[in-house]
C-alpha cells in the first residue's frame, strides 16, 4: 500500500515535534514530505532554531510556501500555526480533501470553530483536534468508572493545571525574548486559558457527559507585565445537573499535595486522579471533618501503547473509530464551555454558552 504523505504546516507550536515523532514511528506507512512555516512568524529565535534542528536531523525538507507544499499529493496535514490561523488553513485543507490535525484548542471563538466545522462537513476528509491528555490512562479510567456508575450522581468535576510557569518554565529567558513569542500574545492564542484551562473544558465536558450551559470566569496576569496574556484563569462551568471547576495556570510554583485531577465528587464516591500518578483512587466512606483516609479501591493504570498517530492511521486505512476526544463533533461541545469562559473572563459576567451546532 502507498505510504500516506504528510505535510507539516506551521512551526509555532511546541507539539509539532511530538506529533512528527509519533508518525515517524511508522516509517513503513508514512512519509513526511516537508514542512512550511506560516505567517505571522511569532516564535522567538531560540524556538525556531530548535525546530529547524529537529527537522534537519530527520531530513525533512523546508518549503517556503505552505500552499505549494499542500499541492504535493498530501494525505495528512499537521497544523501547528498560531491558534487564530486555524480557520483559514482548515478551510483550505478541507477543500483539498486533506485529513487535517490541528493543535488544541479547536479555535479561539465559537465563530471560528463553526467555520472549521462547516469546512469539515463539506469535505471528504477528517478534521482532528490533538489533545495529548486524550491518551492519559488515568483520565480514561476516571471516565470508565463514572460511566459505570461508580461515582453515582456526579455533582462536580474538577481539573487544575500542574505546577508550571508556562511553556518556557524550565528555561531562563529574558522578557524581551518571551515577548516575541505568540504564547505571550492574547489575540494569537497565548495565555493560560488556551493552554491549560482548555484541558479543563475538555475533561469536564467529557466526564460529565454534558454540554455546558453557562460559565463564570476570572483571569489574572501575576508574573508577565510585558504581556497582555493571563497567567492564571479559573472557570466555573454549569452543566445543568453538575458543575465543572477548572484552573489554568502559568504562575503555580508547586502542586503541594493537591492532585491535578480530574477529581469527581459524586453521591456514591469521590474519584481522584492526577496527571503524574498512575493510580486512580476511589473513596466511598463518609468520614466528615477528618484527614483523607486511604482509598477504598485503587486502580493502577498503564500507559496507552497506541496514541494519536496510530489511531489516525487505523482510521484512514481500516475505518477504525477515532478517539471521541479528538473528533470535531465532540470539540464543538468543548467549545461551548471554552468560548463562554473566554467571554466571561473579559466581561466579568456569567456568560451563556452558545449552542455549538446552531449555525
CATH number for the domain harbouring residue 107: 3.40.50.720
We report the CATH number of the domain holding residue 169 as 3.30.360.10
> Both 229 and 284 in a single domain?
yes
Could you tell me if residue 329 is inside a domain? no
Q: How confident is the model at residue 44 (pLDDT cuts 50, 70, 90)?
A: low
Residues 222-233: tens digit of each pLDDT: 999 999 999 999
Q: What is the pLDDT of residue 108?
A: 97
Q: What is the pLDDT of residue 170?
A: 61
Between these two residues, 57 and 127, which has the higher pLDDT value? Answer: 127
- Determine the Cα–Cα distance for residues 175 and 229; give it in Å rounded to an integer: 13
Could you tell me if residue 100 is inside a domain? yes
What is the domain count for the chain? 2
Lowest-confidence pick of 35-49, 118-132, 278-292: 35-49
Containing domain of residue 145, as a range? 135-304+336-352
Residues 142-189: tens digit of each pLDDT: 999 999 999 999 999 999 988 899 887 666 678 888 888 889 999 999
Residues 6+ apart with CB under 8 A from 305: none
> Both 202 and 177 in a single domain?
yes
Residues 6+ apart with CB under 8 A from 329: none
Ranges of beta strands (E only) in the chain are 4-9, 30-36, 62-63, 76-79, 99-103, 127-130, 154-160, 214-220, 232-238, 243-249, 263-266, 270-274, 277-283, 297-300, 351-352
Distances (CA, A) of 34 to 67, 73, 101: 12, 12, 15
Could you tell me if residue 279 is inside a domain? yes
Amino acid at each position: 500500500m502507498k505510504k500516506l504523505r504528510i505535510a507539516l504546516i506551521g512551526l509555532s507550536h511546541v507539539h509539532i515535534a511530538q506529533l512528527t515523532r509519533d508518525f515517524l514511528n511508522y516509517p513503513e506507512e508514512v512519509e513526511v514530505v516537508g514542512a512550511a512555516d506560516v505567517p505571522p512568524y511569532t516564535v522567538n529565535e531560540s524556538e525556531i532554531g530548535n525546530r529547524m534542528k529537529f527537522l534537519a536531523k530527520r531530513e525533512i525538507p523546508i518549503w517556503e510556501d505552505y500552499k505549494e507544499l499542500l499541492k504535493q499529493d498530501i494525505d495528512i496535514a499537521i497544523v501547528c500555526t498560531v491558534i487564530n490561523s486555524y480557520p483559514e488553513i482548515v478551510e483550505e485543507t478541507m477543500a483539498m480533501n486533506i485529513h487535517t490535525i490541528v493543535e488544541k484548542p479547536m479555535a479561539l471563538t465559537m465563530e471560528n470553530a463553526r467555520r472549521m466545522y462547516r469546512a469539515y462537513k463539506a469535505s471528504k476528509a477528517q478534521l482532528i483536534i490533538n489533545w495529548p491528555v486524550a491518551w492519559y490512562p488515568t483520565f480514561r479510567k476516571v471516565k470508565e468508572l463514572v460511566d459505570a456508575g461508580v461515582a453515582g450522581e456526579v455533582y462536580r468535576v474538577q481539573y487544575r493545571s500542574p505546577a508550571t510557569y508556562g511553556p518556557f518554565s524550565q528555561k531562563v529567558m529574558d522578557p524581551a525574548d518571551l515577548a516575541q513569542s505568540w504564547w505571550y500574545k492574547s489575540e494569537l492564542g497565548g495565555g493560560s486559558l488556551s493552554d491549560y484551562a482548555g484541558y479543563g473544558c475538555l475533561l469536564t465536558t467529557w466526564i460529565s457527559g454534558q454540554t455546558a450551559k453557562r460559565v463564570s470566569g476570572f483571569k489574572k496576569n501575576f508574573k508577565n507585565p510585558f504581556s497582555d496574556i493571563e497567567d492564571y484563569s479559573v472557570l466555573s462551568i454549569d452543566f445543568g445537573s453538575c458543575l465543572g471547576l477548572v484552573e489554568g495556570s502559568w504562575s503555580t510554583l508547586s502542586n503541594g499535595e493537591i492532585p491535578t485531577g480530574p477529581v469527581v465528587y459524586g453521591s456514591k464516591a469521590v474519584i481522584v486522579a492526577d496527571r503524574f500518578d498512575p493510580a486512580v483512587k476511589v473513596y466511598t466512606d463518609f468520614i466528615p471533618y477528618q484527614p483523607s483516609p486511604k482509598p477504598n479501591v485503587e486502580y493502577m493504570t498503564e500507559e496507552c501503547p497506541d496514541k494519536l498517530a496510530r489511531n489516525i492511521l487505523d482510521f484512514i486505512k481500516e475505518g477504525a473509530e477515532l478517539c471521541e476526544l479528538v473528533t470535531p463533533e465532540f470539540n464543538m461541545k468543548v467549545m461551548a464551555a471554552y468560548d463562554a469562559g473566554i467571554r466571561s473572563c473579559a466581561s466579568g459576567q456569567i456568560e451563556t454558552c452558545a449552542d455549538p451546532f446552531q449555525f
